[in-house]
């Protein structure tokens, strides 16, 4: 017996997030995209209604939501605006290494304060010369008595300059490659940390992305997650989970592309009738619907595997690659349905395409997802 019914609680979260997207995100999304501005008020309200840092465990006062719960919420946020989605969900990405590898004391110390206000976490793995090769980190972690001294540069860090803390991955012994890495929580009030906002992104422009420079930043050894040498595996286990909400956000974009295309096709007339009457348009809508259903079920399946403690790395990679590729294709087709208007930022569909392009790249490019999938196929 397989159950496809959401629980009452999940339906409530879905309704809450859907209303939040409609009433709080969508009205300001185009503005923050154009201005490349941070939607502080939206983040404050997300905290107020309970849609921020939803994975913080119940043991430290949070909601402790599951991956499936998160996927349900992520779809609605992605429907509203992928940039705003990324602000909220990048915080869950920053939290995940602590769910996987922190002691109860560390969880209480770092996660409980996140609940006190609209506060954010971040995750810093990528470096200027190291994106896909996550085992070849150059950021250094030097053990000095009861402290760790971090030096180096991280880049493409969502929330990097506005988070309360960032989980930083660094090497204490580069020759050991991935076996010489650590995961360390760095609070942002530590001396020596500077964050520079990156400008000129194609999409997701409401989400601030940073370069983070660590100039001999000292943290207590008690900020390290797990043991020396665990860094790479903590990062991989984190991404195996968080690629699921990335897929779910893309599902939200797919659904939005379909809804916008459907509404426009029913209203716009050509050759004396609504363009929805033409099979050329109908087939585009049908293809979007096929992709939407397929992407959502694969995403929810991956979430179910993760929540039930089963292996889920391959399923998450399939969901992330399929959903983001399909959402990008659907957003392009939505522009075609809108014709010339689709190319203008007066209408919402060009933003969908620019925004969801990033889902194909972050948290592991879709080429890396295919590496992960191929390894499972061949092993
Ligand atoms: N979970 C737990 N352990 C894992 C793992 C996973 N998903 N994937 C690999 N490992 C382990 C391996 O078992 C191996 O362990 P041992 O040292 O005990 O043998 C070790 O980690 C190294 O694994 P592997 O040799 O497969 O590492 P590679 O250097 O070949 O890297 C890829 C594998 C490319 C898949 C990895 O580097 C990756 O995912 N890169 C993308 C990073 C990314 O997503 N960046 C985005 C940043 S966030 S925006």
Residue 2 lies inside a defined structural domain of this protein = no
**Largest CA-CA distance found in the chain, in angstroms, rounded:** 79
Which residue among 94, 134, 360 has the greatest number of ligand 1 atoms within 8 angstroms of its CB, and so is best to mutate?
A: 134
Rounded percentage of the chain residues whose pLDDT exceeds 90: 97
Q: Average pLDDT, stretch 83-97?
A: 98
Domain assignment of residue 112, given as a range? 8-116
Q: How far apart are CA 271 and CA 114, in angstroms?
A: 57
Reference 299, options 336, 269, 254, 339; nearest CA is: 254
CATH number of the domain enclosing 314: 1.20.140.10
Count Cα neighbours of 250 within 13 Å in the Cβ-side half-sphere: 37
Q: Indicate if 93 and 132 belong to the same structural domain.
A: no
Query: Residue 128's pLDDT band (boundaries 50, 70, 90)?
Result: very high
Q: What angle do CA 53, 98, 320 make, to 5 degrees?
A: 70
Q: Indicate if 110 and 243 belong to the same structural domain.
A: no
Quote the pLDDT of residue 2: 77
Domain boundary among 229, 246, 273: 229
Q: Whose CA is nearest to atom 22 of ligand 1?
A: 178
Residue 188 lies inside a defined structural domain of this protein = yes
- Domain total in the chain: 3
CATH number of the domain enclosing 91: 1.10.540.10
User: Does pLDDT of 1 surpass 80?
Assistant: no
Q: How far apart are CA 238 and CA 337, in angstroms?
A: 38
Determine whether the shortest distance from the Cβ of 254 to ligand 1 is under 6 A: no
3-state secondary structure of 101: helix
Domain boundary among 116, 146, 180: 116
Q: Is residue 363 flagged as an active site residue?
A: yes
Q: Indicate if 136 and 164 belong to the same structural domain.
A: yes
Q: Indicate if 206 and 318 belong to the same structural domain.
A: no
Q: Indicate if 102 and 130 belong to the same structural domain.
A: no
Q: Indicate if 252 and 371 belong to the same structural domain.
A: yes
pTM confidence score: 0.97
Quote the pLDDT of residue 81: 98
Residue 49 lies inside a defined structural domain of this protein = yes
Residue 81 lies inside a defined structural domain of this protein = yes
Looking at the CA of residue 134, tell me the nearest atom of ligand 1.
Answer: 37
Residue 288 lies inside a defined structural domain of this protein = yes
Looking at the CA of residue 123, tell me the nearest atom of ligand 1.
Answer: 48
Q: Whose CA is nearest to atom 10 of ligand 1?
A: 233
Q: Whose CA is nearest to atom 41 of ligand 1?
A: 132
User: Does pLDDT of 213 surpass 80?
Assistant: yes
Q: Average pLDDT, stretch 251-266?
A: 98
Q: Indicate if 203 and 311 belong to the same structural domain.
A: no
Q: Indicate if 237 and 224 belong to the same structural domain.
A: no
* Tens digit of each residue's pLDDT (9 = 90 or more) over 23-47: 999 999 999 999 999 999 999 999 9
Residue 3 lies inside a defined structural domain of this protein = no
Q: Indicate if 157 and 221 belong to the same structural domain.
A: yes
Rounded percentage of the chain residues whose pLDDT exceeds 70: 100
Q: What angle do CA 364, 374, 353 make, to 5 degrees?
A: 40
CATH number of the domain enclosing 153: 2.40.110.10
Quote the pLDDT of residue 352: 98
Q: Is the dihedral of CA 221, 227, 232, 235 positive or negative?
A: negative
Q: Indicate if 237 and 225 belong to the same structural domain.
A: no
The CA-atom distances, in angstroms, between 28 and each of 42, 78, 83 are: 9, 14, 11
Distance 135 CA to ligand 1 centre (A): 7
The CA-atom distances, in angstroms, between 346 and each of 21, 202, 269, 336 are: 19, 17, 19, 15
Q: Indicate if 309 and 217 belong to the same structural domain.
A: no
Q: Indicate if 208 and 243 belong to the same structural domain.
A: no
Q: What angle do CA 20, 292, 355 make, to 5 degrees?
A: 60
Residue 1 lies inside a defined structural domain of this protein = no
Residue 15 lies inside a defined structural domain of this protein = yes
Domain boundary among 166, 200, 229: 229
Determine whether the shortest distance from the Cβ of 231 to ligand 1 is under 6 A: no
């Amino acid at each position: 017996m397989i159950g496809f019914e959401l629980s009452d609680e999940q339906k409530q979260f879905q309704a809450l997030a859907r209303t939040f997207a409609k009433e709080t995100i969508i009205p300001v999304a185009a503005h923050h995209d154009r201005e490349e501005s941070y939607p502080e008020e939206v983040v404050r309200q997300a905290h107020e209604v309970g849609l921020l840092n939803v994975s913080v465990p119940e043991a430290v006062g949070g909601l402790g939501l599951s991956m499936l719960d998160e996927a349900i919420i992520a779809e609605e946020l992605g429907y509203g605006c992928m940039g705003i989605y990324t602000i909220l969900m990048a915080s869950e990405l920053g939290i995940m290494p602590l769910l996987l590898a922190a002691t109860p004391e560390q969880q209480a110390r770092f996660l409980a304060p996140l609940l006190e206000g609209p506060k954010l976490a971040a995750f810093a793995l990528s470096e200027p010369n190291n994106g896909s090769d996550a085992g070849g980190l150059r950021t250094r972690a030097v053990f000095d008595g009861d402290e760790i001294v971090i030096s180096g540069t991280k880049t493409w860090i969502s929330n990097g300059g506005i988070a309360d803390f960032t989980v930083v991955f660094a090497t204490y012994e580069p020759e050991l490659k991935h076996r010489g890495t650590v995961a360390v929580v760095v609070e942002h009030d530590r001396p020596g940390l500077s964050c520079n906002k990156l400008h000129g992104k194609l999409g997701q422009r409401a989400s601030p992305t940073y370069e983070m420079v660590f100039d001999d930043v000292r943290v207590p050894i008690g900020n390290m997650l797990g043991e020396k040498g665990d860094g790479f595996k903590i990062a991989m286990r984190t991404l195996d989970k968080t690629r699921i909400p990335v897929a779910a956000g893309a599902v939200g974009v797919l659904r939005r592309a379909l809804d916008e295309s459907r509404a426009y096709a029913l209203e716009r007339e050509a050759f004396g009738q609504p363009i929805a009457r033409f099979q050329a348009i109908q087939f585009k809508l049908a293809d979007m619907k096929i992709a939407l259903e397929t992407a959502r079920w694969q995403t929810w399946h991956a979430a179910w595997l993760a929540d039930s403690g089963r292996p889920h790395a391959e399923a998450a990679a399939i969901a992330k690659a399929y959903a983001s590729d399909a959402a990008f294709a659907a957003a392009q087709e939505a522009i075609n349905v809108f014709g010339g208007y689709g190319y203008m930022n007066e209408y919402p569909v060009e933003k969908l395409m620019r925004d969801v392009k990033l889902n194909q790249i972050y948290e592991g490019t879709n080429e890396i997802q295919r590496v992960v999938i191929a390894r499972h196929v061949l092993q």
